[in-house]
Amino acid sequence: MRVLIFLSLALACSALKSYEGYKVYRFAPGAESDKLKLDQLIETFSSALDIWHEPKNYGDNADIMVAPENQKMVESFLARRNMDFSIVIDNVETSLVKPSPSFYAPGSLITFDYNIYHNIDEIESWVSDFSAAHSFVDAVVMGNSIEGRELVGLRFSTGIVARRPVFFQGGIHAREWISPATMINIARQLAEGYEANNPDVVNILSNYDVYILPVLNADGYEYSHTDDRMWRKNRNTNDGAVCKGVDLNRNYDVYHGGDGATNVKCDSTYHGPSALSEPETSTTNDFYQATSSSFGGPVAFIDFHSYGQYWMWPWGYSVGLPDSNDAAEQEAAATAGAEALRAVHRTRYTLQVSAAMYAAAGATEDYGYSTLKAKYSYCVELPPKSSTVGFELPESEIKGVGEETFAGVVGFLQYIVNNDPNSVANPGIPPKP
């Protein structure tokens, strides 16, 4: 058995796209003039760039991966405009994390290792085993993927009848592996906390049902394990176009196709032909609506990403918009969550409106707020802070990120229970950009 596992792992790794010679460039805009230069870079080279991290404010970093054949062209562009840059990863291939072999035997939950990265089949099996092990946890199908996979998640419910829901989802961008791993660890700690009579967890689950979807982009996530570690989008064939995939976090229905998204199919932020055009977004939207509409919307909606350590609330579809009608409460709840998170391992998150510097139209935090009517709707960017590892967070850090993020969401939900238990969203009509 062990020989077969290692052989399968070796074969999978051998099929992966090579990133030999790819570099990650860093440019930190400190003023509006720097931002304009960065905008020119992105507009000029578009599909030749892979933006790992977009700056969220002045002084934050733009981290951009560039293939060997485009590096001289990009460096020349930067030099001509006196843009100071550094190379933070000299060879992406040598930085890639090789997942540890898994010895998980589906049907035996005790064999599941919470501190390594798992493929989609193992996560789906874990959902089944985990729910069977806890009487107050159910496995639920929350949607479907473009390739026909069921998007399976967990429902934590301790009441006789359904309670108002909280939605946590991860894995919308395939390469952000720490996101599904963190969803799994939040689920484990939530179950263990309830069974140990942790008063905060008991209080939360006495008021709300919590739904956790570990991997929204199941096809893309699996593809990032088998074919291309840096894959971001889903696996839509785009009607036979050369480039596959839609950025699911540009496919939602609040100003779909606006700033920060593109109609170029080869770009990493291709928004798709229409809002909610993708099965992953449309079917989970159906599930979220059906589960929450009778309550006037969910209590909270958080979409977990990486990387950068940010906790962000609407609006995100355009820069310079007025604060949302619920901004004060959104910031207060995020602050409570970030403070609880920081108390565990001293990790600091930046709290801000999503489009403080760059917009992302059609993204989840606006969708959760405006469409689902979740007053407390966020995009949370998990660790790391720095692109020296980027999406390649070592497996040794999974446990710590899971611990602190769990503490953060408990602190966040406790704030709502104690201060705004019957929260009502007031998004109004999103202001025009």
The DSSP code sequence of 334-355 is HHHHHHHHHHHH----EEEETT
Look at residue 364 in the predicted model and tell me its pLDDT: 98
Decide: helix, strand or coil at residue 369: helix
Alpha helix ranges (H) inside 213-303: 218-226, 279-292
The pLDDT value given to residue 388: 81
Nearest to 158 by CA among 202, 188, 200: 202
User: How far apart, in whole angstroms, are the C-alpha atoms of residue 196 and residue 198?
Assistant: 6
SS (H, E, C) 79-133: HHCCCCCEEEECCHHHHCCCCCCCCCECCEHHHCCCCCCCCHHHHHHHHHHHHHH
The CA distance from 214 to 392, in Å, is 18
The CA distance from 284 to 153, in Å, is 11
| Dist CA 74 CA 62 (whole Å) | 14
Contacts with 32 (C-beta within 8 Å, 6 or more apart), sequence order: none
Q: Which residues contact 191 (CB under 8 A, 6 or more apart)?
A: 130, 134, 136, 137, 156
- Residue positions annotated with a catalytic role: 381
How far is Cα 381 from Cα 228, in angstroms, rounded to an integer? Answer: 22
Which secondary structure element, helix H or strand E, spans residue 64, and what is its range?
A: strand 62-66
pTM above 0.85, yes or no: yes
> Residue 382 in contact with residue 182, Cβ under 8 Å?
yes
pLDDT in tens, the chain (433 residues): 444 444 444 444 447 899 999 999 998 888 888 888 888 888 888 788 999 988 888 888 889 999 999 999 999 998 888 888 999 999 999 999 889 999 999 999 999 999 999 999 999 999 999 999 999 999 999 999 999 999 999 999 999 999 999 999 999 999 999 999 999 999 999 999 999 999 999 999 999 999 999 999 999 999 999 999 999 999 999 998 899 999 999 999 999 999 999 999 999 999 999 999 999 999 999 999 999 999 999 999 999 999 999 999 999 999 999 999 999 999 999 999 999 999 999 999 999 999 987 899 999 999 999 999 999 999 999 999 876 888 989 999 999 999 999 999 999 999 999 999 999 999 998 888 7
Helix (H, G, I), strand (E, B) or coil at 432: coil
Cis peptide before 307 (omega within 30 of 0): yes
Q: How is the chain split among helix, strand and coil, in percent rounded to 5?
A: 40, 15, 45
Length of the chain: 433
- The residue behind tokens 């004060």 is 328
Rounded Cα gap, residues 8 and 210, in angstroms: 36
DSSP count for the chain of H helices, then E strands: 12, 12
